[in-house]
Chain A
Amino acid sequence: MNLKPKIRLLTFALIMLMAVLLTGCSEQMIVLDPKGPIGESQKDLIYLSVILCAIVLVPVLLLTAFIVWRYRDRKDSKASYKPNWEHSTKLEIIWWGIPIIIIAILGVITVKYTYELEPSKPLVSDKAPLVIEATSLDWKWLFTYPEEGISTVNYIQIPKDRPIQFKVTADQAMNSFWIPQLGGQIYAMSGMAMTLHLQADEPGLYYGSGANFTGELFAKMTFDVKATSDEEYDAWVKEIKSNYPALTEDGFKKLTEKGASNQQFFSSFPEGLFDRVVKQYIGKGGTGHHHGGGSTEAEASKDAAKANEHEQHEGMSDKEMSEMEGMDHGAVKTASGEHAGH
């Protein structure tokens, strides 16, 4: 069989090709090139888990190669042959033990970081976080800056070294909000506002995308994130405020229609737009969770006031619903935001 040398050559060539390509792309591995504290910790965790795994992986791969080679069947084999050797308590303790120890170590680290990197937990900083609200529409991202009063589509500008509190929701299909170089993603789900805290340590232009399939033009839901100095950021806000049109109710309605969009900028947006999107289904008996990206323990005190407010809404909406029963029957497909939380 003269197949072997050919295949060996082919395998070697392909591996070399892949190695070249992989090293060529290393600076584009944006997950491993983070520009913010959250992404940095996640990168450390990734490397740590790789190392822990490699402690098992490498010896086992070598052992496999050794055993398969050493005990292959040939006439003058000097390797021992014990066809009925089937049990060794000592050995079994070793290989139940090693994975248990590795997993225990990794488990402890994982649990610690799970609490530390909980996305709803505010970042430690002497600056107050900048709030940006992100809404996944079919098939574009709408960003609203409640403090500045401006709004953008498929583009975020942020000041560096200042924590950003993203509040994330979806108008319809579930999405996921991901800026790999700043840190991990969070689902964007309708009827609730998820919280994700991120921060950029360096100025730069970062890639962001929707990471959960939302339908036809899902691939168009990428966006740019530009981190700049405070001064540049302020100048940018000023420029948007003076040079661009306002986002009107009609303009928003247009954005919710199915379709992709280029980057857009608006000098203002309707008051409470984000909350309205979050609560648009309450009138229909939805429960309008106000998630802090999770159990909200970390944010319990901060959210207490909101929770109260939220409960009031719920109570009201229940009443509203009972009043509207019959009236709203059969509205299966329509999902207008008319009775949103008022």
Chain B
Amino acid sequence: MFQNFIDFMLNDFFVTGDPLILGAQVSIALASVAVVFVLTYFKKWRWLWTEWLTTVDHKKIGIMYIIASILMLFRGGVDALLIRTQLALPNLEFLHADHYNAIFTTHGVIMILFMAMPLMFGLFNIVVPLQIGARDVAYPFLNSLSFWLFFFGAMLFNVSFVIGGSPDAGWLAYPPLSELSGSPGVGQDFYIWGIQISGIGSLASGINFVVTILKMRAPGMKLMQMPMFTWSVLSSSVTIMFAFPILTVTLFLLFIDRYLGAHFFTLDGGGNPMMYINLIWMWGHPEVYIVILPAFGIFSEIVSTFSKKKLFGYKSMVFALMSISFFSFFTWAHHFFTMGSGANVNAFFAITTMLIAIPTGVKIFNWLFTMFRGRITFSQPMLWTIAFIPCFIVGGMTGVMLSVAPADFQFHNSYFLIAHFHQVLIGGVVFGYFAGLYYWWPKMFGFKLHDGIGKWVFWLWNIGFYVCFMPQYALGLMGMTRRFNEYNFDMGWQPLNVVSTIGGFIMGLAFLFQVWQIAHSIKFFKKEKSGDAWDGRTLEWSIPSPAPMYNFARVPVVTSQDEWWEEKQRIANGGKPKPLAPLEPIHMPKNSAIPFIMSVFFFIAGFGFVWGWTWMIVPGLLGVAICMIARSFSYDTDFYIPVDEIERTEAAALKGAN
């Protein structure tokens, strides 16, 4: 009995026999011990619990999202470098085929779902309530639950690396490969449950931000006066609301196939794998627009701020955002022109795909003409924005080339495709979120990130990007297929692969510089005294940095787009500051431990489902249900901040400013 248990632990439960993974297991164990030790030594457990784990403050939740996404960027980046190392030389034996397959699978899932998405939600959380003059999101409790569901979903996915084995059927897990017949191990179940649990969180966040933007705007702020970032969040969140249920249903059907022996996507029993491929891309294509739209919003804010000029073509921009999010639901089949749906279907989806290029192109022109007749300063956020424009134009153009359906038969699944989507996802999403991170960093933490190191980071990322991905376009035209773990000398792919690998490592170096930049800026902390670090235009710059927990001591009244800029202009032109209304007690939500605890139970249930352990599933789901009931009966969920406390906080912030 005991021997059986030990055998199970060593053969099935823990991943054994690979020095890389053993190293990771040891370092994970050591890091956990170190964290526990530090928290205990400095008596920080209570602080961690009350200030962070149970918080419902959108700014803190945003910071936790960002920390998690940077950790995931590290994990996904290490995956990427392992892939590039394996491909640097022909027939290299650095990684085993099955290990390689697991690594590109986790690289894809982590970068999209556990890096880009949380970084995006982090920025949503920090910025949106401040931009619209609100004191929190519409549903603060749900917001906290969203974060913890994401976090424990991501942990469940990541733990497969050392326990049970990673999924290795590709980031979208096409059946029949992802069915029991193709992937009998638990890796695929970790994939399903990791994404399911965090997916619930994403859906809830989408709903939360739609409601927040529609219902919580400061008095006077009309929809057509909202900052462009808020518009982009609205378009992205609406897309989430319609797209994520498709993902949840699709993975649930796959789960039923695997767990209960159903036949939705199997080969036998009337199943149809093509159905899965259609469904997953009905989510998957909108998903890439979900992550890129907020980047468009960030660029709009930054271009306008650092050109000292109003955003050009506001109405066009809004129309473009909304039409992109609408059309994103009608292009999914361009991911499989080669599935033989016939000329009618291919022609339709080729045209809808090309249509998206139109509003996207218009946005580029509007950014350019915002800079036109402006006064451009090259601070870090603006550098990333300027680098984004040419990068994204080229990436967009190769996207148009891919949308030419009959030509796509030659590009599909080749490195040409790989180069394209990395160019739009790194050049667009990553550069965009970095720009946003540098832009709103002083608002989050009250200090700017070091400029000199930032320039190194910027150049290394950019050079690394082009060196890594430009050769991949050529490799695609040379016939190199994605997901090959090895290739022969005679194909002539080797020189460009070496170049590409060098580029990958330059980006790795850029990430290290970024870590150094943050550490350096913390060590030589220089308080950003004014709340208005960049001479900004929107409401978030009208309050101290970092923002007090209630955000606005007095709810602002909005009369124009770029409210804060107009107000500054008015005062500069000799206008009187607006008379201050008397302070009133502020109504705020109370912290709650339920989101954290409930997500732990979700994790337990998910882990149980992965292994098929009913004894674990039942208490897990029971715990979730009890948490829901407990929440339904808790009436003590809010409190008021008294006026004298607001006065003290405001006075302290003012003192810092002088």
Contacts and interface: CB of A to CB of B under 8 A. Distances in A.
A203 to B, nearest CB: 19
B182 A215 contact: yes
Interface string A174-209: 101010100111110111001000000000000101
B269 to A, nearest CB: 5
B159 interface: no
Contact of B268 (A1, A25, A331): A331
B339 A187 contact: yes
A22 B378 CA distance: 33
Interface string A90-134: 011001101110010011011101111111100000000000000
A218 B101 CA distance: 10
Contacts of B559: none
A39 B342 contact: no
Contacts of B376: 68, 71-73
A114 B496 CA distance: 32
Given A172-B181, A333-B181, A57 B394 contact: yes
B142 to A, nearest CB: 37
Contacts of A304: none
Given A39-B410, A45-B404, A172-B176, A83 B309 contact: yes
A293 interface: yes
A295 B455 contact: no
Interface stretch (A7-15, A141-149, A267-275): A7-15
A14 B455 CA distance: 19
B479 interface: yes
B219 interface: no
A167 to B, nearest CB: 12
Contact of B340 (A67, A120, A172): A120
A335 B373 contact: no
A155 B445 CA distance: 63
Given A28-B491, A114-B347, A209-B479, A63 B177 contact: no
B414 A332 contact: no
A183 B358 contact: no
Nearest to B369: A91
B268 A296 contact: no
B487 A332 contact: no
Contacts of A120: 340, 342
B119 to A, nearest CB: 26
B479 A30 contact: yes
Nearest to B480: A209
A286 B269 contact: yes
Q: Which of A80, A173, A211 has the largest count of B CB atoms less than 10 A from its CB?
A: A173
Contacts of B309: 81-86
Given A106-B354, A114-B346, A213 B177 contact: yes
B481 A209 contact: yes
B68 to A, nearest CB: 29
Contacts of A30: 477-479
A137 B130 CA distance: 57
Interface stretch (A48-56, A239-247, A305-313): A48-56
A21 interface: yes
A25 B97 contact: no
Q: Which of B342, B466, B488 has the largest count of A CB atoms less than 10 A from its CB?
A: B342
B452 interface: yes
A24 B471 CA distance: 12
A327 interface: no
Given A11-B463, A213-B177, A219-B484, A73 B377 contact: yes
Interface string B593-621: 00000000000000000000000000000
B481 A178 contact: yes
Interface in A21-64: 21-22, 24-25, 28-32, 39, 41-42, 45-46, 49-50, 53-54, 56-57, 60-61, 63-64
Given A30-B479, A118-B342, A211-B413, A174 B393 contact: no
A86 B20 CA distance: 56
Given A14-B467, A64-B389, A117-B409, A294 B340 contact: yes
Interface stretch (B189-197, B310-318, B325-333, B623-631): B310-318
A108 B23 CA distance: 56
Contacts of A24: 495
Nearest to A195: B340
A69 to B, nearest CB: 9
B400 A53 contact: yes
B300 to A, nearest CB: 12
A341 interface: no
Contacts of A83: 308-310, 374
A18 interface: yes
Contacts of B640: none
B368 to A, nearest CB: 6
Given A21-B495, A28-B492, A68-B376, A284 B409 contact: no
Nearest to A82: B373
B422 interface: no
Contacts of B340: 119-120, 186-187, 194, 291-294
Contacts of A178: 413, 479, 481
A115 B347 contact: yes
A67 B307 CA distance: 11
Interface in B357-389: 357-358, 361-362, 364-366, 368-369, 371-378, 386, 389
B155 interface: no
B358 A96 contact: yes
A64 B366 CA distance: 11
B414 A173 contact: no
A30 B490 CA distance: 13
Contact of B361 (A85, A88, A95): A95
A50 B400 CA distance: 9
B13 interface: no
B73 to A, nearest CB: 24
Nearest to A190: B267
Contact of A219 (B97, B357, B407): B97
Contacts of A80: 373
Given A3-B455, A31-B479, A21 B496 contact: yes
B39 interface: no
A82 B373 CA distance: 6
Interface string B474-509: 101111011111111001100110010000000000
A30 B415 CA distance: 13
A46 B351 contact: no
A324 to B, nearest CB: 11
Interface in B403-425: 403-410, 412-414
Contact of B371 (A1, A67, A210): A67
Q: Which of B261, B315, B369 has the largest count of A CB atoms less than 10 A from its CB?
A: B369
Interface of B: 97-98, 101, 169-170, 174, 176-177, 180-182, 184, 261, 263, 266-274, 307-316, 336, 338-347, 350-351, 354-355, 357-358, 361-362, 364-366, 368-369, 371-378, 386, 389-390, 393-394, 397, 400-401, 403-410, 412-414, 452, 455-456, 459, 463, 466-467, 470-471, 474, 476-479, 481-488, 491-492, 495-496, 499
Interface of A: 1, 3, 7, 10-11, 14, 17-18, 21-22, 24-25, 28-32, 39, 41-42, 45-46, 49-50, 53-54, 56-57, 60-61, 63-64, 67-68, 71-73, 77, 79-88, 91-92, 95-96, 98-100, 103, 106-107, 109-111, 113-120, 172-174, 176, 178, 180, 183-187, 189-191, 194, 207, 209-219, 222, 281, 284-287, 291-298, 330-333, 335
25 contacts: A7-B459, A29-B478, A30-B477, A41-B406, A82-B309, A87-B315, A103-B354, A106-B404, A115-B347, A172-B177, A172-B181, A176-B412, A178-B481, A184-B406, A185-B410, A187-B339, A187-B340, A213-B170, A218-B485, A219-B483, A287-B270, A294-B346, A295-B341, A332-B180, A335-B267
Given A119-B409, A172-B176, 20 more contacts: A17-B499, A28-B492, A46-B410, A57-B393, A68-B386, A71-B374, A81-B373, A83-B309, A85-B373, A86-B309, A113-B405, A174-B273, A176-B413, A178-B413, A185-B412, A292-B340, A294-B346, A296-B342, A297-B344, A332-B269
